[in-house]
C-alpha cells in the first residue's frame, strides 16, 4: 500500500514558521492601528518586501509546490496575523495572476515587476473586474474596449468597483468587453499603467471589515492604452473570438462556459485558506481566554457550554482546512472538480469563519464586543469571505449545478 500523509514536509514547515513569525511579530501588533486608520499599511508591506515575503518570487515558489499546499499554507498564516493587512500584502497577486495567466512572456517580464516595485519603493497592483451592475453576473459587464486601428490603441470606457488597490495601484489590470455579442466570451484583459490620462479613483469604500485593505471604484474615461497592453496580443484575441463565434453558431457555447467556470473553481481554495486563518486566530484567542478567565471560582472552560463550543469550533476549522487542502491538491494534480470541490472548500471555510468568530465573541462576553479585544475585528473581517470571489449563494449554485448537471437558477 502506498504512503499517505497529511503532514507537511520539512521545507513547508520551515516556510510556515517563517510566515507565522512575521504575522505574529509584525502584523498583529499593528493590526488594530491600521484597522482604525482604514489606510493601506505601507510600512508593513515594505517590511514584507524587505524579507522577500512581498514578492513575485515568493508566491511563485508556493504556487509551484508540487503538493499544492504552498499557497493555502501561506494564506492561512498571513490571515491568521490579520485579514486587512494580509489582503494588502496579497492583493497585488490577483493582478499578477491575471497577467501570468493571459499575458505574453514579454508582457509578464515588463509589467509584473512593476506591480511589486522593490523594498525601497514598494508598489501595488489592482485587478479590476466587478462593476456596479456586474458582480456575480459577469455577463452584465459594461466596460468597453474599442480598438483604434489607425493608432494601434485601445480606448476603454467604464467604471469598475470593489477593486483592491483600485486607484492607488502602479498597474491596473482591467477586464473589458470587446465583443458584446459573445457575452462573457467576448471579454479581454488590459494593462493600464499608472498616470494614464482618463484613469482615476472613484469612491473609496468605508468597509465593515478588512479596513486596512484599500477598496475603491476605478473610473476609465476615454482611457487609451497601446495595442501591446492587450494581454495575450491582438492576434491571439482575434483567434479566440473567431473560435467563440464558431462555437456559438454550432451550439457549443455551453461547453466553453463550463471550461471558464472550472478556471474560477481552481482559485477558490485560496480564499478558503484565508477564512481558515481568520477562524483559527479567533478560536485560539477564545481558547486562551476561556482557560484564563475565571467566573464562580473556576475557569469558564470548565463549563460544558463553553467547552463544547470550543470543541465544535476546532472541529469545523480542521474540516475546513481539509477541504481546502483537498481542492488545492486536486488543482495542482490536474484532477477535475467533478463535484465542485473548489466551491465546496470556499463555501464551508467562509461560513466556518463567520460562525467561529461569532462564537469567539460570545465566549469573551462583553469583552468580545469591544475593540479592546481582537475577536471583534476578526468577526468583522470574516464577513467578506462569504461575499468576494463568489458569494456563498453562488458557491451553492455552482455545487448544485455540478452535482445535478442541470442549469439551476
**Interval 317-332: pLDDT, tens:** 999 999 999 999 999 9
Tell me which residue of 248, 156, 164 sits closest to 193, measured CA to CA: 156
pLDDT of residue 139: 77
pLDDT of residue 138: 77
Query: pLDDT digit string (tens) for 333-356?
Result: 999 999 999 999 999 999 999 999
Active-site entry in 47, 76, 341, 389: 389
Q: With a cut of 80, say whether residue 137 has pLDDT above it.
A: no
Q: With a cut of 90, say whether residue 283 has pLDDT above it.
A: yes
pLDDT of residue 62: 95
Q: What confidence category does residue 260 fall into, taking pLDDT thresholds of 50, 70 and 90?
A: very low
pLDDT of residue 240: 93
pLDDT of residue 408: 94
Angle at 8 between CA 4 and CA 11, to 5 degrees: 130
pLDDT of residue 1: 46
Cα of 355 vs its chain's centroid, Å: 20
Cα of 187 vs its chain's centroid, Å: 21
pLDDT of residue 2: 61
Query: pLDDT digit string (tens) for 165-193?
Result: 999 999 999 999 999 999 889 999 999 99
Distance CA 55, CA 69 (A): 18
Angle at 221 between CA 218 and CA 224, to 5 degrees: 105
Q: With a cut of 90, say whether residue 292 has pLDDT above it.
A: yes
Mean of the per-residue pLDDT values for the chain? 94
Q: With a cut of 70, say whether residue 405 has pLDDT above it.
A: yes
Residue 55 cell numbers, joined = 514578492
Active site residue 389: yes
Distance CA 316, CA 296 (A): 29
Q: Hey, how many other C-beta atoms are within 10 angstroms of the C-beta on 233?
A: 16
pLDDT of residue 293: 94
Task: Report CA torsion sign: 332, 82, 165, 176.
Answer: positive
3-class SS string, the chain? CCCCCCCCCHHHHHHHHHHHHHHHHHHHHHHHHHHHHCCCCHHHHHHHHHCCCCCHHHHHHHHCCCCCCHHHHHHHHHHHHCHHHHHHHHCHHHHHHHHHHHCCHHHHHHHHHHHHEECCEECCEEEECCECCECCCHHHCCCEEEEECCCCEEEEEEEEEEEECCCCCCEEEEEEECCHHHHHHHEEEEEEECCCCCEEEEEECCCCCCCCCCEEEEEEEEEEEEHHHECCCHHHHHHHHHHHHHHHHHCCHHHHHHHHHHHHHHHHHHHHHHHHHHHHHHHHHHHHHHHHCEECCEEHHHCHHHHHHHHHHHHHHHHHHHHHHHHHHHHHHCCCCCCCHHHHHHHHHHHHHHHHHHHHHHHHHHHHHCCCCCHHHHHHHHHHHHCCCCCHHHHHHHHHHHHHCCCCC
How much is the average pLDDT of 257-262? 39
How much is the average pLDDT of 41-67? 95
Residue 234 cell numbers, joined = 491582438
Q: With a cut of 50, say whether residue 226 has pLDDT above it.
A: yes
Residues in the chain: 409
Q: With a cut of 80, say whether residue 305 has pLDDT above it.
A: yes
Asked whether 354 and 378 are in contact (CB, 8 A), the reply is no
pLDDT of residue 71: 96
Domains of the chain: 10-90 (1.10.540.10), 125-246 (2.40.110.10), 256-404 (1.20.140.10)
Kindly report the pTM of this predicted structure.
0.94
pLDDT of residue 266: 59
pLDDT of residue 364: 98
Distance CA 84, CA 99 (A): 24
Residue 219 cell numbers, joined = 473610473
Amino acid at each position: 500500500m502506498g504512503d499517505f500523509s497529511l503532514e507537511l514536509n520539512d521545507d513547508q514547515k520551515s516556510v510556515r514558521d517563517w510566515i507565522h513569525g512575521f504575522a505574529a511579530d509584525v502584523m498583529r501588533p499593528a493590526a488594530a492601528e491600521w484597522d482604525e486608520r482604514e489606510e493601506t499599511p505601507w510600512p508593513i508591506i515594505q517590511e514584507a518586501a524587505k524579507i522577500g515575503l512581498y514578492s513575485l518570487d515568493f508566491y511563485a515558489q508556493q504556487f509551484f509546490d508540487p503538493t499544492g499546499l504552498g499557497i493555502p499554507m501561506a494564506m492561512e498564516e498571513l490571515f491568521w496575523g490579520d485579514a486587512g493587512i494580509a489582503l494588502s500584502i496579497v492583493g497585488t497577486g490577483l493582478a499578477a495572476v491575471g497577467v501570468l495567466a493571459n499575458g505574453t512572456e514579454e508582457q509578464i517580464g515588463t509589467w509584473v515587476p512593476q506591480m511589486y516595485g522593490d523594498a525601497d519603493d514598494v508598489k501595488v497592483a489592482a485587478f479590476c473586474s466587478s462593476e456596479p451592475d456586474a458582480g456575480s453576473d459577469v455577463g452584465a459587464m459594461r466596460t468597453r474596449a474599442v480598438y483604434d486601428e489607425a493608432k494601434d490603441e485601445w480606448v476603454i470606457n467604464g467604471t469598475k468597483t470593489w477593486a483592491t488597490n483600485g486607484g492607488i495601484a502602479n498597474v491596473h489590470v482591467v477586464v473589458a468587453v470587446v465583443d458584446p455579442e459573445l457575452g462573457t466570451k467576448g471579454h479581454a484583459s488590459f494593462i493600464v499603467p499608472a498616470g494614464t490620462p482618463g484613469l482615476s479613483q472613484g469612491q473609496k469604500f468605508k468597509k465593515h471589515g478588512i479596513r486596512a485593505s484599500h477598496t475603491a471604484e476605478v473610473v476609465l474615461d476615454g482611457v487609451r492604452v497601446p495595442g501591446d497592453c492587450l494581454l495575450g496580443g491582438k492576434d491571439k484575441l482575434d483567434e479566440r473570438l473567431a473560435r467563440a463565434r464558431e462555437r456559438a453558431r454550432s451550439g457549443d457555447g455551453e461547453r466553453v462556459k463550463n471550461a471558464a467556470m472550472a478556471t474560477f473553481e481552481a482559485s477558490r481554495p485560496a480564499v478558503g485558506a484565508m477564512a481558515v486563518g481568520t477562524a483559527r486566530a479567533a478560536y485560539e484567542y477564545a481558547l486562551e481566554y476561556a482557560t484564563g478567565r475565571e467566573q464562580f471560582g473556576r475557569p469558564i472552560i470548565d463549563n460544558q457550554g463553553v467547552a463544547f463550543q470550543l470543541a465544535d469550533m476546532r472541529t469545523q476549522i480542521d474540516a475546513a482546512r481539509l477541504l481546502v487542502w483537498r481542492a488545492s491538491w486536486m488543482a495542482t494534480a490536474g484532477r477535475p472538480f467533478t463535484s465542485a470541490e473548489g466551491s465546496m472548500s470556499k463555501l464551508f471555510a467562509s461560513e466556518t469563519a463567520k460562525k467561529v468568530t461569532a462564537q469567539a465573541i460570545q465566549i469573551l462576553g462583553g469583552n468580545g464586543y469591544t475593540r479592546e479585544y481582537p475577536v471583534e475585528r476578526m468577526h468583522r473581517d470574516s464577513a467578506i469571505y462569504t461575499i468576494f470571489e463568489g458569494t456563498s449563494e453562488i458557491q451553492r449554485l455552482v455545487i448544485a449545478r455540478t452535482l445535478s448537471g442541470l442549469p439551476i437558477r
